[in-house]
Structure 1
Amino acid sequence: MESEDEFLYTYFNHVSQLCYEKAKEHIEKEREPKVTTSPWSLFLNILQQLALAEKSYIEIGFLQNKHKSFLRKDNSLRSVYESMKNDLKKLEDNCKQTIADKRIQKGSKNIIEFMNARINLIDLYEKIHNISLNKQLICYNEIVHQVESVIEKNSGGFTDISMTPAKAVFSLECEILDQLFKALTELQRLQFLPSLALIHGAHTRLAAWENKIQSRETWKLGNMFKGNPLPALFQWLQQLKGAVLSKFSLYFYHTLAHQTTPNEMRNLCSKLHHDHFQKILAFQRRYDVSSVILLSDTQVSSDTTNNRFPVIVAFPSRNPPQLDTILKMISETNNELMNVEKIIYKFSSQEQFTYVLTTVEPNIYLVILFESKKSEKDTFISNFVVELCQNMRCTKIFSSLKSMTK
């Protein structure tokens, strides 16, 4: 490995391990005494800026409010990367044909490709955050396509040996996002094994990324009084995995419960990001609920009375006697249920039952039954429905991308 390649490899190794002070010291050691305008010195200045940008990126600084007006330029992280790209392009253009300058040109080319990849990911995270603002049913496939586009677009970029640490972490980040959003897509289709495999894939990649932060023990000491020392973006990905796993545990609760004892199942669910099962049970007991049911219009099951609307999970009974009535109501209110914020109350005077219906996902419905008349003004019911649906759709996690910004 050439000395310049070795220098860059060590630099990107420090940055990928979140050792930004070490990266800074590494740059300072390379500075030429009393020379400030040589191509190499200018290149080092950009590397110093890049380390600061990367520190901001890993703390989700890319979703900070943009301070932009006619008096002040856009200082968002995206614009910082764009500005550094322009500086590197100018440096490339001004380099001569010496061996040293050619190496700077090669390094600049690879780093520009890396910055393009960063900007692609910033655009992706902004799209994920914006999902939480849209009052529409979510199609996770759109995010999967964008993640795969980012992977494909940058697969041939920054492949130089000096960029290996940066490439490895970038690939892990993309693969984690890819696995989790594919898992959400498979969960909408109620596919047990594909969902489980994808969640496990994301889990192993998160573990691999955490292991790459080799010096985390040193900065844990400095952050031990500040809560979780892991960077905000890594924490967010962990939380997204936790939310997806919690959703999986509810959609396939009956399947999983058959594999273990009730006590063990309860203990396992209590460790999840959201223990949906216990929250539903608590809601039932406190509010005298007759039944809580999740149904799907996807043909995935043959053990129900109506194959078109299989019961995904129901508490307390898997096959409630009111199923035919529920299916009729869903069919009659289908247009209203397209509104993600709509909670429909239907009271049957003949049965003396109140049916509460809403859409969790494009093909999945939540139905709550009460053996008495309930009012739409009952905030306890509406708050429970809204919170459960938001957690199942993961919109709270998507929204938290901004609130986690430090």
Structure 2
Amino acid sequence: MEKEDEFLFNYFTYISQLSFDKAKEHVLQEKERVPKTPVGPRTMFLNFLQQLALAEKSYMELGFLQNKQKSFLRKDNSLRAVFEYMKNDLKKIEDGCKNSKTELQGYCQNITQFVYARISLIDLYEKLYNMAMSNKHIVYIDLINQVETITQNNNYTFTNICMTPIRVVFSFECEVLQQLFKAMYELQRLQFLPSLALIHGAHTRLIAWEGKMQRETWKLGFLKNNPLPALFLWLQKLRGAILSKFSLYFHDTLANQTTPTDMRHLCSKLQHDYYQKMVSFQRKHDAACVILLSDFKVDSYIADYDSFPIIVSYPPRSPPQLETILRMISETVDFPILNKPITKFSSQDQCTYCFAMVEPNIYLVILFESKKSDKDSYIGNFINEFCTNLRCTKIYVSLKNSAK
């Protein structure tokens, strides 16, 4: 490896390991070797690398969805804008070395491609955040297609050997996102094995990615381990939430493979123990049952009740009022507001039915064998929290870290 290639390879190795201070020190040492001449392309390039290290650090700490500040006197200082400015800086450096025999031109072209890739991922996260904030269901197929487009567009870009370290972690990030979004899509379709394989795939890639990190330490006495970066922790949290969702959607299938005691123990370790939440609510508020069911009807004007399988129920049985529940869901043409339960009282059987759409064709239903008001806050609060967590809405919204 040539000396110039080795310098840049080591720089991107530090960046990929989250050793941003080492990356900046590495550049400073190189600047000391550069002759003290008027600022030329080489010096401009080294200055750029220092700025890139700062931008990468901000990216890994979820700095890409902060409030954009614009005015007549102030430029857009969002991280996306910073990367856009970087593209312009690289173009100037590239233009400055066109007439000289230098490898800088090739470096600039490769790094420009990487910057484009970063911007495309920022756009993806922003789209996900906006979807969650819109209080509408997440269209996972759109997100899957966007990740696949990003991956395909960058299969043959920033391929210079110097950029191998950062290319590897970029691939890990795209693969984890793709696996998690696909898992959510397959969960909506109640596909057991595909969901399980995708969740496991994301887990193995996260482990491999973490293995590439050599985090810088803080000198805080016994607190020497620097925590993992916010973006990585966010992906871990999303994976944990999806695993929790999987454990609920396939609770009965999983429970048949172990003892009740072991099943409770395993679920208690999850990010959300949804089944236990259903049990606790049913017992505390004397509900007849709490049910999660799905509707995968083919286009038809007549409801086929066999197409409404119960996903999971507590108590674990089909209630005698199931036909009434299915009819009420079929008659509810629109669920306009997420998290807001629909409450219906049947004078015929003296039962109150509370239900909400968790996501397209999946419903949470609570049955009371007495009259309840739609103003009973404990019902609304339970449904709101339960459904919001299943949709991972809070995790998506947390992409915008207002503390930074």
TM-score band by shorter chain is over 0.9
Q: Tell me the CA shift for residue 292 of structure 1.
A: 0.6
Q: For residues 322-373 of structure 1, what are the alpha-carbon distances to aligned partners after superposition, in whole Å with 9 as ceiling and x for unaligned?
A: 11111111111122x2542441111112211110011011110111001111
CA distance in 2, matches of 1:396, 1:364: 19
Residue in structure 1 matched with residue 318 of structure 2 by the alignment: 319
Residue in structure 2 matched with residue 397 of structure 1 by the alignment: 395
Q: Tell me the CA shift for residue 221 of structure 1.
A: 5.8
Q: Tell me the CA shift for residue 135 of structure 1.
A: 2.2
CA distance in 2, matches of 1:275, 1:224: 33
Q: How many residues align?
A: 397
Residue in structure 2 matched with residue 145 of structure 1 by the alignment: 145
Equivalent pair of 1:64/1:405 in contact (CA under 8 Å): no
| AA in 2 matched with 1:67 | Q
Which of 12, 25, 34 lines up with 2:36 in the alignment? 34
Matches within 5 A, 1:67-146: 67-99=69-101, 101=102, 103-146=103-146
- The 3-state SS of whatever aligns with 1:219 is coil
Residue in structure 2 matched with residue 191 of structure 1 by the alignment: 191
Structure 2 stretches lacking a partner, 5+ long: 299-303
Equivalent pair of 1:35/1:41 in contact (CA under 8 Å): no
Residue in structure 2 matched with residue 248 of structure 1 by the alignment: 246
| AA in 2 matched with 1:374 | K
Asked if 1:295 is matched to 2:297, the reply is no
CA distance in 2, matches of 1:375, 1:320: 21
When residues 11 and 405 of structure 1 are mapped into structure 2, their CA distance, relative to the original with a 3 A threshold, is farther
When residues 269 and 49 of structure 1 are mapped into structure 2, their CA distance, relative to the original with a 3 A threshold, is same
| AA in 2 matched with 1:146 | Q
When residues 294 and 42 of structure 1 are mapped into structure 2, their CA distance, relative to the original with a 3 A threshold, is same
| AA in 1 matched with 2:57 | K
| AA in 1 matched with 2:61 | E
Q: Tell me the CA shift for residue 166 of structure 1.
A: 0.7
Residue in structure 2 matched with residue 239 of structure 1 by the alignment: 237
Q: For residues 151-189 of structure 1, what are the alpha-carbon distances to aligned partners after superposition, in whole Å with 9 as ceiling and x for unaligned?
A: 111111101100000100000000000000000000000
| AA in 2 matched with 1:355 | Y
Q: TM-score, normalised by structure 2?
A: 0.94
CA distance in 2, matches of 1:113, 1:219: 31
| AA in 1 matched with 2:365 | V
| AA in 1 matched with 2:184 | L
Q: Provide the identity percentage.
A: 61
When residues 347 and 235 of structure 1 are mapped into structure 2, their CA distance, relative to the original with a 3 A threshold, is same
CA distance in 1, matches of 2:50, 2:116: 18
User: Which has the larger displacement, 250-259 or 284-293?
Assistant: 284-293
Equivalent pair of 2:218/2:224 in contact (CA under 8 Å): no
- The 3-state SS of whatever aligns with 1:148 is helix
Residue in structure 2 matched with residue 357 of structure 1 by the alignment: 355
Structure 1 stretches lacking a partner, 5+ long: none
CA distance in 1, matches of 2:115, 2:275: 44
Asked if 1:165 is matched to 2:165, the reply is yes
Matches within 5 A, 1:172-251: 172-213=172-213, 215-216=214-215, 218-219=216-217, 222=220, 229-251=227-249
Asked if 1:273 is matched to 2:271, the reply is yes
CA distance in 1, matches of 2:20, 2:316: 56
- The 3-state SS of whatever aligns with 1:114 is helix
- The 3-state SS of whatever aligns with 2:276 is helix
CA distance in 2, matches of 1:195, 1:149: 22
Q: For residues 48-83 of structure 1, what are the alpha-carbon distances to aligned partners after superposition, in whole Å with 9 as ceiling and x for unaligned?
A: 000000000000111111111112111111111111
Q: Tell me the CA shift for residue 97 of structure 1.
A: 3.8
Q: Tell me the CA shift for residue 230 of structure 1.
A: 0.8
CA distance in 2, matches of 1:165, 1:36: 32
CA distance in 1, matches of 2:226, 2:310: 39
When residues 62 and 266 of structure 1 are mapped into structure 2, their CA distance, relative to the original with a 3 A threshold, is same
Residue in structure 2 matched with residue 54 of structure 1 by the alignment: 56
Asked if 1:43 is matched to 2:37, the reply is no
Q: Tell me the CA shift for residue 307 of structure 1.
A: 2.4
Equivalent pair of 1:240/1:397 in contact (CA under 8 Å): yes
When residues 14 and 133 of structure 1 are mapped into structure 2, their CA distance, relative to the original with a 3 A threshold, is same
CA distance in 1, matches of 2:221, 2:71: 36
| AA in 2 matched with 1:257 | A
CA distance in 2, matches of 1:90, 1:69: 26
When residues 404 and 194 of structure 1 are mapped into structure 2, their CA distance, relative to the original with a 3 A threshold, is farther
Equivalent pair of 2:292/2:311 in contact (CA under 8 Å): yes
Q: For residues 1-38 of structure 1, what are the alpha-carbon distances to aligned partners after superposition, in whole Å with 9 as ceiling and x for unaligned?
A: 22111111100000010101110111111111423512
CA distance in 2, matches of 1:341, 1:36: 63
